[in-house]
Chain A
Amino acid sequence: MQTRRAFLNRSAAGALGLTALQQLIAKGAIQPPHHAAKAKRVIFLYQAGGPSHLETFDSKPKLAEMHGKPMPESFTKGQQIAQLQGKPLICYGPQLGFKRFGKSGQEMCELFPQMGSIADEICIVRSMWGEQINHDPAHTLMNTGSILTGRPSMGSWVLYGLGSDTEDLPGYVVLMSAGRGGQMQPIAQRQWSAGFLPSKYQGVKLNSVGDPVLYIQTPDGLGAGGQKESIEAIAKLNREAGKTLGDPEIETRIAQYEMAFRMQTSVPGLVDMSKEPASVLDAYGAVPGDGSFASNCLLARRLAERGVRFIQLYHRDWDHHGGVKKNVELKAQEVDKPTAALINDLKQRGMLDDTLVVWGGEFGRTPMSQGGDGRDHHIKGFSYILAGGGIKPGISHGATDELGYAAVEKPVSVHDFHATMLHLLGINHLRMTVKYSGLDARLTNVSGEVVKGILA
């Protein structure tokens, strides 16, 4: 495998190529950081479909008492409602048992024992709340901080602000996995778009099955040697034309081809987990190439090690309009172990302190039943897990009311969450702005406050 230097020394005008490459290694716009950063990177374990907080991290004994009784109107009157429009609203008690874990005694569903075993590392935020009750716009809000289409995703903002720590890989990577149960709600590509930021900040989807990155494969029959020769020839020709045309874009293009070639080599190596020790694979429950959430968590750690700034895993699907008990059981089997393994793995490698790990979805689920055994979409209160990267471990923050309906104690909006995330990365959310449409546009839109209570 060629080193970058060796590659460059082979090209005709190596010195020029070097400059362009360094430009490529996007230095962030926030230089120096607004304040000391705790986190260098983010791993977002996005539980798509809307996990029920009531069967995961928010225990509501009062809701159990109220099971089968009508939901008091005082809670629901005037509120947005999804598929339960026009239907009777009946309380549906928690379907799974809760337990306390660790020294911190944090309470969570007993079907998440592995996450329970790291209860002292994590922070449970029980007072999240959102604004959009359908999946597509809710994803948009969680990802971009706005319900309007066309805004940069949080990964793009972070990459824009901090630049990338890797020369061989995109700075913002998205992975997807699908498990059992749920409805596999679609997730649009715009959720990792750079919006009005330059497109180099967009998320790049890494496929865990098949070609890891689109078009990463050299055409069959050409071979790596042939590819390299072609790229070198193209660079020479571009440089030659550059002499007459005087087009500064040419240098950038030459650099992009070099980067593309390096990606072709580094990306397959990245997704090849066969060399990971069996103990590591077992800890995650990952089987190389199976495209599971577990494998993606391990991939996330490898990406983090290689300098990727923002790593977002989507795991589908938690949209449990029916059979919430059975389906959360299934999901627990899929996510409990790998989430804990990832956090432990990061800790062991000394990376947890500067990696912010987030676990959560686009909304929660209603305390009222749907279809007799499910729950509808719910935005007024839901739970998120945060760990590492400057988050205070072993605490819970905020609370919903006694029925788990609304965030009443220390509510955390999506903007508050974004502000806090940026804060941990050394960015003042009010000061990372880009002029757009007459606004000083920012990830947190026009609100958001750093949640000081969860900072270490």
Chain B
Amino acid sequence: MANMRLDLREEAVKPNARGRAPIVPGNPEQSEIVRRIFTTNSMQLMPPASAHKTLTAAQKDTIRRWVAEGAVYEGHWAYEPLRRGAATASIDGFIAAKQHAAGLTMSAEADRATLIRRLALDLTGVPPAPTEVAAFVAGEPYIKVVDRMIASQRYAEKQAMHWLDGVRYADTAGFHGDNPFPAWPYRDYVLRSIHENQPFDQFTREQLAGDLLPGATTAQKTASAYNRINRVSAEGGLQPKEYLAKYAADRVRTTATVWLGSTLGCAECHDHKFDPFTAKDFYSFKAFFADIKETGLVPDRGPKAWGALLDLSSERDRARRAPLAAAVESSKKAVEAKRAASKRDEKALLGAYEKGSLAWTYQVPVAASATKATLKVYNDEPAPGNIGEAVTEPKPGDGLIVASGANPDNETYTITLEPGAGRWLQLGVQAMQDESLLGLRIARGSDRLMVSEIEAELLPERRKLRFSTAASSIRFQAPEQHPMNAIDGNPQTGWGASTYGDAPVTSLALRFETPLATTAQSRIVVRILHDSEFRKATIGRLRLALSKGLAMPVSEQRGAKIQTGLSAAVVAALKKSKGKRNDEDQQTIVAALDWTSPAMEESLTALKRAEAALGAVDATAPRVMISESVKPEVTRILNRGNFMDDSGAIVEPAVPAFLGKVSGTRLDLANWLASRDNPLTARAYVNRQWRLFFGAGLSRVLEDLGSQGEWPTHPELLDWLASEFVESGWDRKHITKLIVMSKTYRQSSTGAASEKDPENRLLAKQNRWRVDAEVVRDIALSVSGLLVERFGGPSVRPYQPEGFLAALNFPKRDYSASRGDDQYRRGLYTFWQRTFLHPSLMTFDAATREECTVNRSASNTPLQALVLLNDPTYVEAARVFAQNAYAGGGSPEARIEWAFQRAVGRAPSARERAVLLDLYKSGLRRFDSDPSAARRFLEAGEAQRLMAPPAELAATMTVTRAILNLHETITRN
């Protein structure tokens, strides 16, 4: 507790131990604060010299006078009860009154074309279609347009963007490895809630305490993901207690900012210096969330990944899954029965190992080629490599194949072996790690390895070699990447690796259906197909091997003997006496015996097939992290926020003391947050909404309605709007509509603000600003015709420069851009990688959502120019835009006119036309004289191409590209 508080009157008038009071109302001479500001004693002067803050004579006098007049305190505006105001009140009434008092008047309404574009960008984030513009310019009633837009799914998408910033929604953990976690169904929940205009109080209850609601529905439980989408860490060596404290503090900060517009977060280490929040308030607030099941280290791989999850499979999915799961169960039983009935000869296994009959025989390919890449076989020369000390460098003669050169999204490797005479039971494929490989250090790109199929053919017979079963060395095998997928004849399925393990070599063992007899003349052609949707998920470095025995797929750390066919762990376990074996040893031995016993093959293969089938379905099952309520942890006040200090008092859940007495569960908190008793929530909400339509809140510091924030320019208006919100039943669309229907909203934004009000706080005109990051993308995609609109769903990946994620690890990975329609979704759906948010979004000030953000800056930087000019997404948009302009027919002038109108919603002036026509002609000259340049320019992006004369189309593309780069295109006027 602070020793002196001036923010609370009853504290300020209390005399101290020596009988002196900071304030004696009516008596400035006796008031310590007056004495201190007027004293000539430099030791006692307040503020102290070290603060470098001085009071003017006028300011000192004001304080003195105030004390003399009784030291009247008014509560801080934000904490006072809402004042509804007169029945005849309106937004325009409040605005006009202040303007009038300042000698200002409203501006005329914006012209219709500007107005509808503004409405569309503000309400939906997508510019209006030309038909919409025409209809409105021709006289369609404004209210009809408003109603239509607010009812649209686009409106929900636009509003959701801002909500997601506040609740810091993202698709990844946020710390350290920053791996993807299942959160997108929560975004779907938010979208539906806004679209269906769910009352905000219910929206609040469901997010904070959806799991605690009686008869909680799937949607309500999904909503409770709000409590789980804070940043979490899986870093080995973190101290769980520290991170539990971090997560809880994040929840307090976020909830207090979004609902209360308050910086309660400042009170984590001490009483708030400016607002009436104490440290005890912080921890009491935190205590509401103490029942949420979580761990300090949140695993990001394996069966326990991400803690409490909800399976969102539909009834149909479950119906599909049930028989597959049953098949797995019965196969397991069959395997167990077979084990019991078979001779499990450990000694024989160990013997075979020691004799070398399980060994892999590495093959030196006689030929290796790929569709586009270059495959080089390292035989006599050592292969270049960099993987630290972990991997045994292949010796010359080991037949390492290294892919280099062209790196296409999909690839087929064709490798020819000359094994010599022998009788072979298995083919082995080993992917070797290298630091140069971006995808888990084994793939040439992407965030995973995906091998669709492995085929083999025996020459000269030209006999297709079939495989009966497959196994891999991967510890955390993702369900959809089962080894059997590599030999199932289905290119849609694949084997691969996608979670980080620690193995420098990843092996796959494929068993021939029948033993393969080869002669000295025999050749085996192995084809490795990488045909998945994951780009560049291709093996970077590999070796092939054959085994005469039933060798296991092995991978080892630190220079072990991979080729032996049994891992060191298996051997060590086998050598332990039965009594000394632990559970892991047992499992290891069982697996080894299974694979190396021919008798087990049939039942084991049936089980693997069943697992692969089930895995394919499981992989697509949507899941979401949810709140699961358990017995609450004890919550203590942490002195100075120090998680190691256990001496602080235990606190019970409570809202900040000065705001009321509410305790209990998260549901009680939620009920209070959105209740009439709480003046902050409605104010915070409508204040943020105001900014979306005017560029700044009525109180400009959106995250802080406390004393360090800004006094609202129109406190009565803010209160009136907040009251409307509460009394309408927390109707969000009602607030939106009130705002956009106002005259104030519809004013023109051209020209400069008045000198009397240079920041236009009195709104004598509308404001203009550069649209949000996601909307920059949405505009380009929609006007060019690329935008694919689908409401909700998993996150998608726009094109991104290669290697952007190079500084990530656990696992090391790159990015695989979405294909097809998913490439052209709204910016809202972009995969939100917290530590490396998509650079185009970052450049336009998107929030990383590592922390709660309720405001964004609007910077103007050269990096933005580089994005709009050179980012393949925008270059492709320019191309498709040009194609549509071209396909529309007409002269170049007509196409230019059409494109310009499409992008900015108005016809170009004569001068603008001339500039664009010049650009077109110049482009045409250049591309006419260099047709290959035209073709290359037109190669941008994967969207459908138009058959058209390249020079004309390319020249048109320079025009559409310029239009997409206009300031006006990305400005909301």
Stretch at the interface among A113-121, A244-252, A379-387, A391-399: A244-252
A-chain residues with CB within 8 Å of residue B332 when the two chains form the complex: none
Is A444 an interface residue, CB under 8 A from the partner? no
User: Known: A180-B388, A256-B860. Is A246-B752 also a contact (CB below 8 A)?
Assistant: yes
Stretch at the interface among B16-24, B315-323, B396-404, B803-811: B803-811
Within 8 A of A (CB), among B783-812: 801-804, 806-810, 812
- Whether A259 and B966, one on each chain, are in contact in the complex, defined by CB atoms closer than 8 angstroms, is no
- Whether B237 and A85, one on each chain, are in contact in the complex, defined by CB atoms closer than 8 angstroms, is yes
Stretch at the interface among B509-517, B583-591, B716-724, B908-916: B908-916
- Whether B919 and A176, one on each chain, are in contact in the complex, defined by CB atoms closer than 8 angstroms, is no
A24 to chain B, nearest CB (A): 8
Contact of B176 among A150, A182, A186, A190 (CB under 8 A): A186
- Whether A216 and B273, one on each chain, are in contact in the complex, defined by CB atoms closer than 8 angstroms, is no
A-chain residues with CB within 8 Å of residue B704 when the two chains form the complex: 437-438
- Whether B861 and A438, one on each chain, are in contact in the complex, defined by CB atoms closer than 8 angstroms, is no
9 closest A-B pairs by beta carbon, nearest first, are A221-B937, A438-B708, A83-B237, A221-B936, A188-B835, A82-B237, A260-B865, A259-B862, A260-B862
Name which residue of chain B comes closest to A182, CB basis. Answer: B388
Contact of A260 among B836, B850, B869, B915 (CB under 8 A): B869
- Whether B233 and A256, one on each chain, are in contact in the complex, defined by CB atoms closer than 8 angstroms, is no
A-chain residues with CB within 8 Å of residue B862 when the two chains form the complex: 256-257, 259-260, 263
A-chain residues with CB within 8 Å of residue B812 when the two chains form the complex: 184
User: Known: A186-B178, A198-B859, A253-B860. Is A221-B807 also a contact (CB below 8 A)?
Assistant: no
Cα A241 to Cα B971 in complex, Å, equals 12
- Whether B837 and A189, one on each chain, are in contact in the complex, defined by CB atoms closer than 8 angstroms, is yes
B797 to chain A, nearest CB (A): 16
User: Known: A226-B923, A230-B962. Is A326-B389 also a contact (CB below 8 A)?
Assistant: yes
Contact of A215 among B178, B266, B870, B933 (CB under 8 A): B870
- Whether A257 and B865, one on each chain, are in contact in the complex, defined by CB atoms closer than 8 angstroms, is yes
A-chain residues with CB within 8 Å of residue B242 when the two chains form the complex: 80
Residues of A within 8 A of B (CB): 78, 80-85, 133-136, 149-150, 176, 178, 180-190, 198-200, 204, 207, 209-211, 213-223, 225-227, 229-231, 233-234, 236-238, 240-242, 244-250, 252-253, 256-257, 259-261, 263-264, 314, 316, 323, 326-327, 330, 376-377, 430-431, 437-438
- Whether A190 and B860, one on each chain, are in contact in the complex, defined by CB atoms closer than 8 angstroms, is no
User: Known: A256-B865, A257-B865. Is A241-B966 also a contact (CB below 8 A)?
Assistant: yes
Other than the given A150-B850, A237-B966, 16 more pairs (CB < 8 A) read A133-B239, A134-B235, A210-B801, A215-B839, A215-B866, A215-B870, A219-B875, A220-B936, A221-B934, A222-B933, A225-B926, A238-B966, A252-B860, A260-B863, A263-B866, A438-B704
Counting chain B CB atoms within 10 Å of each CB, which of A80, A149, A214 scores highest? A214
Cα A112 to Cα B916 in complex, Å, equals 61
B-chain residues with CB within 8 Å of residue A264 when the two chains form the complex: 866
B918 to chain A, nearest CB (A): 7
Residues of B within 8 A of A (CB): 52, 175-178, 233, 235-239, 242, 263, 266, 273-274, 386, 388-389, 435, 644, 703-704, 706-708, 750-752, 768, 770, 801-804, 806-810, 812, 834-837, 839, 842, 845, 848, 850-851, 857, 859-867, 869-872, 875, 909, 911-912, 915-916, 918-919, 922-923, 926, 932-940, 954, 958, 961-962, 965-968, 971, 973
- Whether B835 and A189, one on each chain, are in contact in the complex, defined by CB atoms closer than 8 angstroms, is yes
A384 to chain B, nearest CB (A): 22
Cα A185 to Cα B233 in complex, Å, equals 13
Count how many pairs of residues, one from A and one from B, have CB atoms less than 8 Å apart in the complex.
236
B-chain residues with CB within 8 Å of residue A223 when the two chains form the complex: 926, 933
Cα A215 to Cα B937 in complex, Å, equals 15
- Whether B177 and A186, one on each chain, are in contact in the complex, defined by CB atoms closer than 8 angstroms, is yes
Name which residue of chain A comes closest to B704, CB basis. Answer: A437
B264 to chain A, nearest CB (A): 12
- Whether A186 and B237, one on each chain, are in contact in the complex, defined by CB atoms closer than 8 angstroms, is no
Cα A190 to Cα B470 in complex, Å, equals 43
Cα A352 to Cα B374 in complex, Å, equals 46
B-chain residues with CB within 8 Å of residue A234 when the two chains form the complex: 962, 965-966
Name which residue of chain A comes closest to B253, CB basis. Answer: A148
- Whether A220 and B965, one on each chain, are in contact in the complex, defined by CB atoms closer than 8 angstroms, is no
- Whether A222 and B937, one on each chain, are in contact in the complex, defined by CB atoms closer than 8 angstroms, is yes
Contact of B851 among A85, A150, A221, A237 (CB under 8 A): A150
User: Known: A238-B966, A245-B750. Is A134-B233 also a contact (CB below 8 A)?
Assistant: yes
Cα A292 to Cα B934 in complex, Å, equals 37
B956 to chain A, nearest CB (A): 13
A-chain residues with CB within 8 Å of residue B869 when the two chains form the complex: 215, 218-219, 227, 230-231, 257, 260
- Whether A250 and B850, one on each chain, are in contact in the complex, defined by CB atoms closer than 8 angstroms, is no
Cα A231 to Cα B919 in complex, Å, equals 10
User: Known: A134-B235, A215-B866, A234-B965. Is A221-B861 also a contact (CB below 8 A)?
Assistant: no
- Whether A247 and B768, one on each chain, are in contact in the complex, defined by CB atoms closer than 8 angstroms, is yes
Name which residue of chain A comes closest to B847, CB basis. Answer: A150
Cα A214 to Cα B810 in complex, Å, equals 24
B73 to chain A, nearest CB (A): 20
- Can you list 12 A-B contacts (CB < 8 A)? A134-B233, A135-B235, A149-B850, A183-B809, A186-B177, A188-B836, A198-B857, A229-B919, A230-B965, A240-B915, A246-B750, A256-B862
